[in-house]
Amino acid sequence: MTSISKSEAAYIAGALLATPTPTRADGRTLLDYRAISVETGVAPAANGSGRAVIGAVGNDATEIVAAVRLEVEDLSSEDGDKPFSCSVTCTPSAYPSLTPPQLDDLSTDLSIILSDALITSIHTHVAPQLVITPNGKRWHISLEAVITSDSGNVIDALVIASRTAFWNLRIPRTRSVEYRKTFQQDDGGLTMDVDQPSSTGDAFKSAVGKGVRKYDGGSGKGAVGRKGGGADFELEDYWDDGVPLKNREALPVCVTLNLLPPIHFLDATTLEGESVPTKLHLVFSFPSPTECFIQNTRMTGPDEVPLKALPDLIKAGQSYASKLATALTTQLSAE
Amino acid sequence: MFSVVSPPLPRYDNDYDGQRTSKNKGRDADSMDLDFGDANITSPGQTITSSQAFMRGHGTYVDGEVVLASVAGTVERVNKLISVRALKSRYNGEIGDLVVGRITEVAAKRWKVDVNARNEGILMLSSVNLPGGVQRRKLESDELQMRNFFEEGDLLVAEVQALYGDGALSLHTRSLKYGKLRNGQFVTVSPMLIRRLKSHFIALPCGVDLILGLNGYIWISKHVQEFDQEGEEGFDAQAVYSNKNDDIDSNSRLAISRVSNIIRVLAAHSMPFTDSILVEAYDWTLEQQGDVRDMIGEDYAESLVAAMSAQ
């Protein structure tokens, strides 16, 4: 359903292009974001979770809840080159005018967009920290995001919520174990050797180890550095949530620049987004205050942008993103 | 530019400790007297009165000898008729209501309009003023060119003419003040906050026109002069169905933004709208320091609401 009329779109565009002072519907300047509120730990059953709300709570806000769940994955048996799966769910309360098939389509689209936005960061920063045992077990990340309310700028909000969930993520501590048969006892009992490097590493021992799987939970950060590698692992402490990710400042942020040549603006509400449909989404990562990496770009919309405008847009996007990343880091560190 | 905060604490509008009046406590449950000094609030399943003496209306049901409320709301009594008006419900159209709607579909000889109610509104081609004069007859070519008048996404103001059997509202724009909306912006609030007024076309002194649709859709636009309409000669087709906005200067735009923020703040705090409240709120915001965009902050909203409640 089209939800804007031509005269509304012309009014909004005219206001944005007005000189000397562009005005927006709620009086913000072109580069003002609505107030962002972030909260961690909203889903206690997940390994990491967060909620991001852009705008005031209520109808005029975009609200996303994201949760990360870790599951043990065996690299050798399944296709091990996908450490990360992500899905976005659009609730009917967020989009009351859409039919269920349209909601499914929108959910699929946003899942792909969010996955593209985060995949680089997962591969470079997060996945190396998720190895359990060197010979084939690791944590698989499942990220789920639910959009409970949408009033514009949903992609930025999705990345903020995902970043918050990863910030909150706790990886359980593990250590690898290995079983070997002791030959002194007649009953053929098995003793457990912890931290013993397997000198021969023959197939029988590792098969035995596999056969005595103690649990099906997940853990395993301590396996790195063990010689020979345990075939199995255990949680160091059942009640311990685990350790947070290292280098959380490197998690990505996304800024969406809405393009209305010659100006661009940030944080469009729903009506503004429909009136100015051409957008440039940029995903940046700032591992340290001096470094900046661009991880994903996406341009949507019907209009074209002259090539020489692009470097300035990317530079502008970088400065906005670094401010956003700093603000988010400060707020989340303070929690 | 960016302000990242922790989430605000939930606000409870009904968190009044000492305000539970003794009226309800002192009332005898079997008493037949209905005391309406203050608004009597009921919750679903609560006994109102005996069914022998009173007839039941909307929002109530009879169980044996008593009339009980089926919704949470205020009890209203008209002579012998008891009804309960719900505190929060969808907009229910009534004949003569002024509504602002958005076209969702163009069908054969009619448009389907979203009016934020349980059913959609239907605007028949025969219920609109066709260009060329109010008395112009409908032609075949009009049916084939309906998108020249209204197309999907257009906003319009109309009056409810009748109700269909299934609850759909039949709308008409047969007056010169109704029709397509332009030169402004659109805000949505809960329908409960719009009271029935004598006129829903409000001209604020700051040069802003407001149309308060009873369905909760509000249109804020630049002030148009009450041009002396010479009857039908003043009805120009190009003007009425055009999508082109007039030139709007930045002062008007700023005033429109200010009014829309006031409306959002009052709606978020569940204060009903009348033109007098809006005028006072506008003057109050002008007295404050700060830009229009500061109005969306939480503290500003609280102080505005407090100031309005005091008056």
> Which pLDDT value is given to residue B33?
47
> Which pLDDT value is given to residue A201?
43
Which pLDDT band holds residue A96 (cuts at 50, 70, 90)?
confident
Residue A163 has pLDDT above 60, yes or no: yes
SS (H, E, C) chain B: CCCEECCCCCCCCCCCCCCCCHHHHHCCCCCCCCCCCCCCEECCCCEEEECCCCEECCCEEEECCEEEECCCEEEEEECCEEEEEECCCCECCCCCCEEEEEEEEEECCEEEEECCECCCEEEEEEEECCCCCCCCCCCHHHHHCHHHCCCCCCEEEEEEEEECCCCCEEEEECCCCCEECCCEEEEECCHHHECCCCCCEEEECCCEEEEECCCCEEEEEECCCCCCCCHHHHCCHHHHCCCCCCCCCHHHHHHHHHHHHHHHHHHHCCCCECHHHHHHHHHHHHHCCCCHHHHHCHHHHHHHHHHHHHC
> Which pLDDT value is given to residue B129?
85
The verdict on a CB contact (< 8 Å) between B155 and A5 is yes
> Which pLDDT value is given to residue A225?
37
Q: For the residues A107-112, what does the mean pLDDT come to?
A: 96
Angle at B245 (CA atoms; ends B241, B249), nearest 5 degrees: 155
- Rounded to 10°, the helix B298-310/B250-268 angle is 80
Percent of residues, chain B, with pLDDT higher than 70: 82
The verdict on a CB contact (< 8 Å) between B4 and A331 is yes
Task: List, for residues B63-116, the tens digit of each pLDDT value.
Answer: 888 899 999 999 988 999 999 988 888 898 899 999 999 999 999 999 999 998
Look up the pTM and report it.
Answer: 0.81
Distance (Å) of CA A88 to CA A28, A147, A267, A277, B216: 29, 7, 20, 22, 31
The verdict on a CB contact (< 8 Å) between B185 and A53 is no
Percent of residues, chain A, with pLDDT higher than 70: 81
Which pLDDT band holds residue A123 (cuts at 50, 70, 90)?
confident
> Which pLDDT value is given to residue A319?
93
- Chain B residues whose beta carbon lies within 8 Å of the beta carbon of residue A1: 104, 114, 152-153
Q: For the residues B140-150, what does the mean pLDDT come to?
A: 86
Residue B145 has pLDDT above 50, yes or no: yes
Task: List, for residues B27-61, the tens digit of each pLDDT value.
Answer: 444 444 454 445 688 999 988 888 788 888 888 99
Task: List, for residues B234-288, the tens digit of each pLDDT value.
Answer: 556 567 888 888 888 888 898 999 899 889 888 888 888 888 888 888 888 888 8
> Which pLDDT value is given to residue A227?
41
> Which pLDDT value is given to residue B39?
62
> Which pLDDT value is given to residue B137?
76
Percent of residues, chain A, with pLDDT higher than 90: 47
> Which pLDDT value is given to residue A58?
55
Pairing assessment for the beta strands B169-173 and B179-180 based on DSSP bridges:
unpaired
**Beta bridge partner(s), residue B158:** B99
> Closest approach of chain A CAs to the CA of B33, in angstroms?
40
Distance (Å) of CA B295 to CA A39, A162, B82, B221: 24, 29, 42, 19
* Separation of CA A260 from chain center: 29
| Identity of the residue in B6, B243, B291 whose CB atom sits nearest the CB atom of A7 | B243
- Residue B106 phi, psi (nearest 5): -110, 115
Q: For the residues A270-276, what does the mean pLDDT come to?
A: 92
The verdict on a CB contact (< 8 Å) between A56 and B104 is no
Does the CB of B3 have a partner CB in chain A at under 8 Å? yes
- Chain B residues whose beta carbon lies within 8 Å of the beta carbon of residue A56: 268, 296, 298, 301
- Residue A73 phi, psi (nearest 5): -130, 140
Average pLDDT of chain B is 82
> What contacts B34, CB < 8 A, 6 or more positions away?
B40, B48, B49, B75, B77, B82
- Chain B residues whose beta carbon lies within 8 Å of the beta carbon of residue A53: 7
Task: List, for residues A3-56, the tens digit of each pLDDT value.
Answer: 889 999 999 999 999 888 888 888 888 998 888 999 998 998 999 999 999 987
> Which pLDDT value is given to residue B217?
94
Residue B163 has pLDDT above 90, yes or no: yes
Residue A182 has pLDDT above 70, yes or no: no
Other CB atoms within 10 A of residue B211 CB? 21
> Which pLDDT value is given to residue B142?
80
Distance between CA atoms of A100 and A110, rounded to whole angstroms?
Answer: 15
ipTM: 0.80
| Identity of the residue in B7, B248, B291 whose CB atom sits nearest the CB atom of A27 | B291
Computed over its alpha carbons, how large is the radius of gyration of chain B?
23
Burial class (CB in 10 A: 0-12, 13-18, 19+), B176: middle
> Which pLDDT value is given to residue B226?
62
Which of A17, A23, A57, A148 is best to mutate for the B interface (most B CBs within 10 A)?
A23
> Which pLDDT value is given to residue B21?
40
Which pLDDT band holds residue B304 (cuts at 50, 70, 90)?
confident
Burial class (CB in 10 A: 0-12, 13-18, 19+), A186: exposed
The verdict on a CB contact (< 8 Å) between B154 and A5 is yes
Residue A155 has pLDDT above 90, yes or no: yes
Does the CB of B181 have a partner CB in chain A at under 8 Å? yes
> Which pLDDT value is given to residue B11?
59
Answer yes or no: are the C-beta atoms of A165 and A141 closer than 8 Å.
no
Closest alpha carbon to A256 in A50, A1, A54: A54
> What contacts A298, CB < 8 A, 6 or more positions away?
A113, A116, A117, A280, A281
Which amino acid is located at B300 in the chain? Y
Closest alpha carbon to A88 in A140, A34, A147, A42: A147
Average pLDDT of chain A is 82
> Closest approach of chain B CAs to the CA of A77, in angstroms?
43
Which amino acid is located at A57 in the chain? V
* Separation of CA A122 from chain center: 8
